[in-house]
Amino acid sequence: MIKNNILLLGIVLFFALQSFVARSEEGITDTEIRIAQFGPLSGPAAAWGAVVKGADLLFKIVNEEGGICGKKIIYRMFDDGYNPAMTKAGVKNLQENIGIFAWVGGVGTATSLAVMDYLMNKKVLWISPFSGAKELIDPPKQYLLITFYPFYRMEAKILCKYAFETMKKKRIAIVYQDDGYGRFALEGAIDEMKRHHNAELVSKLPVEAKESQMKPYALKLKEADAEAVLLFMTPFAALRLLKAAKEMEYFPQWMGANSFSDFPLLYKISRGLWEGMITTSQADLAETPLLKKYKDAFSKYAEAGEEWSLNYQYGIGILEPFVEALKRCNCDLTRERLIKEMENLKEFKGVLNTGTFEQFNANDPKSRWVSRESSLIQCEKNGEIKQLSDWIRVDNY
């Protein structure tokens, strides 16, 4: 009888253990939710590093307010220097040696594409890469949830349309980084010019990410008599191009992606050359109570010398839906439950534009395309922001 009871107890404990193992989730403990992000805190794209820090600010607020179901978010960010090889090594190290529940953000196209297959094969959640590459949603991926970063093709179409129709610029050119980032934007610009205006770009100039000599590019643009120039490159490369153009007294209408919209910072770095720049923007510029809450927290947590910027706002905004979905999980913190709660957000509005969430459909890339609208802004003196348009919706990326 005793032996039978011991055997029965052993069986019960075995299945209880199996049930516990089945329910346990990588990166989740009794006290922690482990989240990670990579980004350029140094290197040619360091101006975008504030996106990574914006996420840190959001998670500090969440933890200060009690965490998620009593668990603290442990956020690990690492500097990949905008180098895909460093991104791959860092992501693999944290995932396999620490155990990460979800990756968030991640700045850069080449860097994001370098780890996409690895994370998807491991069925690890990845929320809102800070890239507009179509490969991220086409084909759609169940564990890769896109939020608010616009697609480069969409941005280029909006900029071309505004330059041609509103500003009456007929001679439009583009300087683009010769990788997925720039080439996808080039496709959008060509498509917009042909479909709506039966026109062509007067110049299409590819540039390497680490290119430092911009004078030849400025000269080619001037020779092409480009009236408006779209820029899809790193901020520091763009700054060198603007400087080279100024030296040869060439002043077209410069236009750039959402990643160029941090006007106060770039105006300061460029010593005023950024004035007049037109970019797309996902940020809601209204001084809402929610935005004030974030700015107050920034004043509390920011490092000495740091200033609030749109990149901080982007870093927060792209992850607001993630935090909301975590709260809606009601302590059932599994990747599958989180996916379900994010898909149920439908129309979500925080400090960025409204995001459209849909149920996953393996045959429809739009089921993972959330940011379908953008506005246009212009840099004024001292980095002030002038709103040029309301939200512009694009339903075909």
Q: Percent of the chain beyond pLDDT 90?
A: 75
Report the Cα 181 to chain-centroid distance in Å.
12
Q: Which domains does the chain have, with CATH numbers?
A: 32-150+286-372 (3.40.50.2300), 152-282+377-393 (3.40.50.2300)
* CA-to-CA separations, 43 to 47, 79, 110, 210, 235, in angstroms, rounded: 9, 9, 14, 9, 11
Q: The pTM is what? A: 0.86
First to last CA, the chain: 70
Q: Are 240 and 210 in contact (CB under 8 A)?
A: no
Cis? peptide before 365, omega within 30° of 0: no
Question: What tens digit of pLDDT does each residue of 26-69 get?
Answer: 999 999 999 999 999 998 888 888 999 999 999 999 999 999 99
Residues 340-371 as b or e (16 or more Cβ within 10 Å = b): bbbbebeebebbbbbbbbeeeeeeebbbbbbb
- Token duo for residue 119: 């994370």
pLDDT, one tens digit per residue, over 151-203 is 899 999 999 999 999 999 999 999 999 988 999 999 999 999 998 778 999 99
Of 10-19, 96-105, 115-124, 286-295, the range with the lowest mean pLDDT is: 10-19
